[in-house]
Copies of this chain bind each other. A is one copy, B any other.
Amino acid sequence: MSTKKNNEKIKVAICGGSGYTGIELLRILSGHPQVIVTAVTSEKSAGKSVSTLFPHLHKYSNLIYEPMDKTGLLKKADLFFLALPHGASQEAVNFFFSKGKKVIDLSADYRLSDPIVYEEWYGLPHKYPATLKKAVFGLPEIHRRNIRKAKLVANPGCYPTSAILGLLPAVKGKLIELSSLIIDSKSGTTGAGRKADLTVSFCEVNEGFKAYGIGTHRHTPEIEQELSSASGKNIKVNFTPHLLPVDRGILTTIYARLSKKTDTAAVLKIYKKMYKDEPFVCVLDEGVLPNIKNVRGTNFCHIGLKVVSRTNTLVIVSAIDNLVKGASGQAVHNMNIMMGFEETTGLESLALFP
């Protein structure tokens, strides 16, 4: 796959490697020429090879799941991806970080800079506020400069990635009233994780569609934090997630009242300008709207929008693959930035369509 010798590659470990974000990291990293995965942990699957558990990952026949022995892992890797449940991640992140390792945390534990907000939404205190202060929110389109020198990156949630990228130019460009934001998101079922649970069983999800967690979803404060920071105002948003009967993809439809008269072309121009150097954001032409199928399996975010003059509303639609740009792909992008690699390395393949 790569002519680079293994001893020139950086060594990475994945803690929590048998969930959907864990195996997506393995999938993506298999095509990354500057990285070698030296360890992967799973309590339940310890002792089994990756390829035994996941036949599609047959290149990893020699990589064996191991229980998470943090001290033992220290010498195995230079950079740690943590794909553990929130709460559990607090301590593990702090451990590897305090030992001088680079850490990319895919949990929610280090995303909210204010530990009080964290406790309010997650129902448990943050035990490592000092470490939390060092964490950089890993949305490269906003925080690239800080990610470059970060030792600890908190990889954003899937919904926040789609919502923030959709709103950022409108918020920074002062195009919209900030008090009226409606964020209506629809996610594929991988977003619920890999688990034995009746609510995500095929026959309950297939041919169905529902909203859930109205007004209470834990990704809300992430969105509010980043948009508030971008605008300098204290923003509150209406955020409603829905469950789509597809494997992958988030489509987010955003409604905002325009702060002054404009048209679709003018707003698109601002969006295209702001994102013109971004390797993974694609602002679609007027009249074209995103479809999650067009970003499936990729790190791209597609954005389309429309000014509805009769109601003075800007409607923005963004689409990402929740497991890639919404999780593991963005984590690899963050790694590339932290390590000084070409940003797009390992992330260039096009969507699997159909």
Residues of B within 8 A of A59 (CB): 350
Residues of B with C-beta under 8 A to A315: 211, 214-215, 238, 240
Interface residue? A295 (CB, 8 A): yes
Q: How long is the Cα–Cα vector from A319 to B300 in the complex, in angstroms?
A: 29
Shortest A27–chain B CB gap in Å is 5
Bound-state Cα–Cα, A224 to B42, Å: 44
Task: Give the docked Cα–Cα distance between A236 and B354 (Å).
Answer: 34
- Are B296's CB and A55's CB within 8 A? no
Q: Which of A1-20 contact B (CB under 8 A)?
A: 1, 20
User: What is the bound-complex CA distance between A189 and B202, given in angstroms?
Assistant: 7
Neighbouring B residues of A204 by C-beta, 8 Å = 202, 293, 354
A38 beta carbon closer than 8 Å to chain B: no
- The residue of chain B having its C-beta at the shortest distance from the C-beta of A23 within the complex is B353
Cα-based distance from A295 to B245 in the complex (angstroms): 16
A residues sitting closer than 8 Å to B (CB atoms) are 1, 20, 23, 27, 30-31, 54-59, 180, 182, 184, 186, 189-190, 194-198, 200-212, 214-215, 236-238, 240, 242, 244-249, 251, 253, 255, 282, 284, 288-298, 300, 302, 304, 306, 308, 310-311, 313, 315, 317, 319, 348-354
- Determine how many copies of this chain the complex contains: 4
Q: How far is the CA of A352 from the CA of B28 in the complex (A)?
A: 10
State the CA gap A298–B297 with chains docked (Å).
Answer: 13
Interchain residue pairs A-B with the least CB separation, the first 7: A215-B308, A208-B293, A56-B351, A203-B354, A210-B291, A202-B205, A56-B294
With beta carbons under 8 angstroms apart, the residue of B205, B253, B288, B313 that contacts A55 is B288
Chain B CB count within 10 A is highest, among A27, A200, A203, A308, for: A203
Residues from chain B with a CB closer than 8 A to the CB of A180 are: 180
Q: How far is the CB of A135 from chain B (nearest CB, A)?
A: 25
Given contacts A27-B350, A184-B255, 10 further A-B contacts (CB under 8 A): A31-B349, A55-B294, A182-B255, A186-B186, A190-B203, A207-B296, A208-B246, A211-B253, A215-B306, A236-B311
Q: Say yes or no: A352 contacts B352, CB within 8 Å.
A: yes
Query: Which among B55, B57, B209 is the interface contact of A246 at CB below 8 angstroms?
Result: B209
| Of B240, B290, B319, the contact of A253 (CB 8 Å cutoff) | B240
Nearest-neighbour CB distance to chain B for A341, whole angstroms, equals 14
Give the complex CA separation of A214 and B255 in angstroms.
11
Contact with A311, one of B190, B238, B249 (Cβ below 8 angstroms):
B238
A210 and B294 alpha carbons, distance in the complex (Å):
10
Contact partners of A215 in chain B: CB under 8 A: 306, 308, 310-311, 313, 315
Closest B residue to A315 using CB positions? B214
Closest Cβ–Cβ distance, residue A45 to chain B (whole Å): 12
- In the bound complex, residues from chain B placing their C-beta under 8 Å from that of A208 are 246, 249, 291-293
Nearest residue, chain B, Cβ from A288: B55
Which single residue of chain B is at the shortest CB-CB distance from A26? B350
In the complex, chain B residues whose CB is within 8 Å of the CB of A203? 20, 189-190, 194, 200, 247, 354
B residues near A58, Cβ cutoff 8 Å: 282, 300, 350
Alpha-carbon gap, A210 to B313, bound state (A)? 19
Q: Is the CB of B20 within 8 A of A290?
A: no
- The distance from the CB of A54 to the nearest CB of chain B, in whole angstroms, is 7
| A308-B181 Cα distance, complex, nearest whole Å | 13
Is there an interface contact between A251 and B242, defined as CB atoms closer than 8 Å?
yes
